[in-house]
Amino acid sequence: MASALGASIWTDIFFVAFKLPNLFRRIFAEGAFTQAFMPSFIASKQKGVFATAIFLRFMLILIGFSLLVTLFPEVLTKIITPDWSAEQIAQTAPLTAINFWYLDLVFIVTFLATLLQYKEHFATSAMSTALLNISMIAALLFYMKEEPETIIFALSFAVLIGGTLQVIAHLIAIKQFNLQRILIGGWKYRNKESKQKDLKKEKKDFNNLFFPSVWGNSMPQISSFIDTILASFLISGSISYLFYANRIFQLPLAIIAIAASIALFPAISKAIKHDNEALAHQHLNRVFWILLSLLGLATLMGIILAEPIVWLLFERGAYTAQMTADTAAVLTMYMLGLIPYGLAKLFSLFLYAKKEHRKAAKIATITLLINVTVSFTLMKLMGAPGLALAGSIGGLVFFILTLRGVGFHVLTDILNMKKLIYVFIGLSVSAVVLVFLNGLIIEWIR
Q: Are residues 127 and 205 in the same domain?
A: yes
Count: domains in the chain: 2
Residue 219 lies in a domain: no
**Boundaries of domain holding 256:** 234-446
Residue 15 lies in a domain: yes
- Encode the chain (446 residues) as per-residue pLDDT tens digits: 888 888 788 888 888 888 777 777 766 655 667 777 777 777 777 777 788 888 888 889 889 989 999 999 998 888 888 878 888 899 999 999 999 999 899 889 988 988 888 888 888 988 888 999 999 999 999 998 899 899 999 999 999 999 999 999 999 999 988 887 777 755 655 555 555 556 677 677 777 777 777 777 677 777 777 887 888 888 778 888 998 999 899 899 888 887 888 778 777 877 777 777 777 778 788 888 888 999 999 999 999 999 999 999 998 888 888 999 999 999 999 999 999 999 998 888 878 777 787 888 899 889 999 999 999 999 989 999 999 999 999 999 999 999 998 888 888 888 888 888 999 999 999 999 999 888 888 777 76
Residue 133 lies in a domain: yes
Residue 228 lies in a domain: no
38 touches 117 (CB < 8 A): yes
Q: Are residues 76 and 110 in the same domain?
A: yes
Q: Are residues 273 and 322 in the same domain?
A: yes
Q: Are residues 105 and 143 in the same domain?
A: yes
Query: What's the CA dihedral at 437, 438, 443, 444 to 10 degrees?
Result: 70
Q: Are residues 255 and 169 in the same domain?
A: no
Q: Are residues 59 and 194 in the same domain?
A: yes
CA 228, 79, 360, 29 torsion: positive or negative? Answer: negative
CA 162, 104, 207, 372 torsion: positive or negative? Answer: positive
Residue 229 lies in a domain: no
Q: Are residues 319 and 185 in the same domain?
A: no
